[in-house]
Amino acid sequence: CCETFRGRPQDPEGTRRYWTEHMYSWLRNTPASAYYGSRPYYCPEVAGFLPTQALKEAIPMLHDYIANNADFARVGMHVKGFDVYFSPNSAFLWVDTLYPEMDPEARQVGLQVRADIAEMLFGRWMSPGGIVAGIAPYIMQRLGPTYGLLKRLKAALDPNGILNPGVLGLGGDDD
């Protein structure tokens, strides 16, 4: 399956170690401000769950988007990879981009690429997963009445607005 869709077959031990070693270590050693702050490199990826069979359409669509996007070459942007973690009936797809983060033009292109990929995937197959802060501006408004419910829950649980202010756009109109 990996080779058919231009993927790289990998030993499943790597996936296990990613979650049991890398992520736990990263979470222990990274302050919240580094990931949820307003720095230009925060959350440069799109990640979420989709039906396993949808990968047959999603991966080629992503390859096509990248191949036909002139901005990638212009600002030195690359896709690190399409990381796929399988479960029995779904897959967790992580699209990670790399670009010169401190270049304002590259940052704007990165934000647009993130928006485009979020639109392609979440508009068709995917539900958000992982760390959603970076794609919140593109998906939260589309939740409809659920978005209003989430905002009311946030206000009830955090009336002073001190827990992750601005994350996911749940803090109020000025988020």
The domain segmentation of the chain, as residue ranges, is 12-139, 144-175
Residuewise pLDDT in 10s, the chain (175 residues)? 666 767 666 667 766 665 665 554 444 444 444 444 444 334 456 777 888 888 889 999 999 999 999 998 898 888 777 778 777 778 878 787 777 767 888 878 888 888 888 888 877 777 665 555 556 666 777 778 888 888 888 888 888 887 766 666 666 555 5
Q: Are 50 and 121 in contact (CB under 8 A)?
A: yes
Q: Is 0.85 topped by the overall pTM? A: no
**Could you tell me the two tokens for 73?**
């070459």
The SS3 call for residue 50 is strand
CA distance 26 to 97: 19
CA distance 93 to 52: 10
Distances (CA, A) of 131 to 40, 55, 65, 73, 128: 16, 20, 23, 27, 8
